[in-house]
Structure 1
Amino acid sequence: MSGQPDFSINSLFSVKGKVALVTGGGAGIGKMMAAALVQNGAKVYIASRKLQVVEETARELTAVGPGQCIALQADLQGRAQAEALAAQIAARETKLHILINNSGMSWGSPLENFDEKNGWDRLMALNVKAMFYMTAALMPLLRAGANGNADPARVINIRLVPTPSRAREPSSVASVQTLSEGPLSGPDNGTWSYSASKAAVNQLSRTMASTLSKQVHEPQSDFISVNVIAPGVFPSRMTKYGIEKAGELMAADQPMGRIGIPEDLAGLTLFLSSRASSHLTGTVIPIDGGQSLGVSGLARL
């Protein structure tokens, strides 16, 4: 209708031509999100410490198209590694429209013998510190990628349910759970530091959202939104143990009666990466079939 806003899907949810970086994008949650962007015309860089994994994923996603997926190697343990990855992006692009901080790790072991170096130092460095420095190092490209406050640049931080492994992928429900042991963690194992790291990501994301939307670089605003996706149980390396041991219980114990599927994440990814969410920042969005409502047994783990 003449004079009416364009509310078409192509206008509101388009990511065609946008440039994105998905850390930990070779498998699991990261791969699902990267695939959603590529299939809708975005140019997506995926990064992981295992180059072969991201190269295989990049070929797979590019073959489907119509966007493009490019593999980069990065082991995000702190500031130096984050800045090195940012330099790789800056050597190829002048703008970055979407940053998805998905890399992370979990660690589970008994409380009395919890490994300090891996369980706390490495985990907090990757899950919290690297996320912060990754965002900071890409600020020039994100500012350049912002199209005013009608279509800001996006930072999307991800979280997931942990297991006692060294799987390098993040977590969500863990940030609000008060217990660190359960079907996902294995007998007599707890993911103590993991839950703490995800709560830290929660708060850090909110404070960054407040700062990056304001005019902190006068006279031009940054216009960068920061939001958090808090997935429940989705198929991945991190949740493989729990699904194998208690998959039916997990599905039955969630209000929607199933665990997550790729389509669930794809839709939310497109929403948060497009104009449809341009007035949304500082939010934590659970995508867990109602688990976070506290009406299921798993929500009390």
Structure 2
Amino acid sequence: MALDFFSLKGRVALVTGGSRGIGKMIAAGFIAQGAKVYISSRKPAACDETAAELSKDGGECISLPQDVSTVEGCKALAERLVALEPKLDILVNNAGAAWGADFDEFPESGWDKVVNLNLKSPFFLTQALHGALSAAAEEDKPAKVINIASIDGIRLNPQETYSYHASKAGLIYLTRRMAARLIRDGINVTAIAPGAFASEMNRVARDHGEEIAKRIPSRRIGRDEDMACAAIYLASRAGDYVVGETIAVDGGVALASVGVG
């Protein structure tokens, strides 16, 4: 019988920031491939609503609302997850924030909020779930951690998003450092660097997609399935030999060094 390299049947996943945007795209893709998916976000109502929506067609999506912007929040989410699932096959660190302001006016609050959520939380949530990930790892089936970075961590965009740029660039290198350590426990750490996808965070792409598409080599913004497929690749058997890498899913923007506002 042929092996389905992209199947996630029997696997348990946790997607932070999973109630909308890129997190929701990834959660939907995982569910379509047979995974049991827990989604988390800081807004309980939105998290519950998305979980119900993604479970409509027979999929299994469970809401675990939690603010993970602090170490305490990361530990709390990990404890709640482990109480339900002693083993975790896939962790997607997607929860994130952005902030833009002129250099002379950029506030400390805009620095701390973004760096804490985008860079610190992926580390401490992975640390808190290290035991559950290690428990799921098998000799021929590593557990997976997928960090959601950004092409803004690879190249500059025209906007003054200082803490966002710094956090996403840092997350790419943190992915490498974590991968080098966790591979010995059977845990593969990788990252995805999305380009222009329509979402609440990227309102420019959401509201001006046709104009943005003109500056993208592929001549369109990202679709839900583009993000889902990249995440499925890394989470499944297909990506088992990929360690520490960051995959740009951006239609060629970062490669061509074309700014997308």
TM-score by length of 2: 0.96
> Deviation at 1:249?
2.7
Identity, in percent, stands at 45
- TM-superposed CA distance for 1:7, in Å, is 4.9
Would you say 1:132 and 2:132 are equivalent positions? no
Q: Give yes or no for the alignment of 1:177 onto 2:167.
A: no
The 5-angstrom pairing of residues 50-129 of structure 1 reads: 50-65=43-58, 67-117=59-109, 119-129=110-120
Q: Which of 224, 245, 249 lines up with 2:187 in the alignment? A: 224
1:264 deviates by 0.7
Match of 2:21 in 1: 28
Q: Deviations over 1:130-169 (max 9, x none)?
A: 1100000000000011121x2100000012xxxxxxxxxx
Give distance in 1, aligned partners of 2:33 and 2:154. 33
Q: CA deviation at 1:239?
A: 1.2
- Structure 1 residues 7, 282: closer, same or farther in 2, change over 3 A? farther
Q: Which residue of 2 aligns with 1:293?
A: 255
**Any conservation in 1 of the 2:27–2:39 contact (CA below 8 Å)?**
yes
Q: What letter matches 2:162 in structure 1? A: W
Q: Aligned letter for 1:58?
A: A
Structure 1: give runs of 5+ residues left out of the alignment.
Answer: 1-5, 160-171, 182-189, 215-221
Q: How many residues align?
A: 261
Q: TM-score, normalised by structure 1?
A: 0.83
Q: 1:205 aligns to what SS in structure 2?
A: helix
CA-to-partner distance for each residue in 1:184-240, whole Å, 9 max, x for gaps?
Answer: xxxxxx2111100001101111000011112xxxxxxx1100000011011100112
* CA RMSD between the two structures: 1.4
Q: Do the aligned partners of 2:14 and 2:38 also contact (CA within 8 Å) in 1?
A: yes
User: Which secondary structure does the structure 1 equivalent of 2:61 belong to?
Assistant: strand
Alignment partner, residue 132 of structure 2: 141
Q: Return 5+ residue gaps in structure 2 as ranges.
A: none
2:33 matched to which residue of 1? 40
Q: Structure 2 CA distance, aligned partners of 1:174 and 1:62? A: 33
User: Contact 1:39/1:64 (CA < 8 Å) preserved in 2?
Assistant: no
Q: Would you say the 8 A contact 1:180–1:195 is kept in 2?
A: no
- CA contact under 8 A between 2:199 and 2:206: conserved in structure 1? no
**Highest CA radius of gyration, 1 or 2?**
1
Shift in Å at residue 242 of structure 1?
4.6
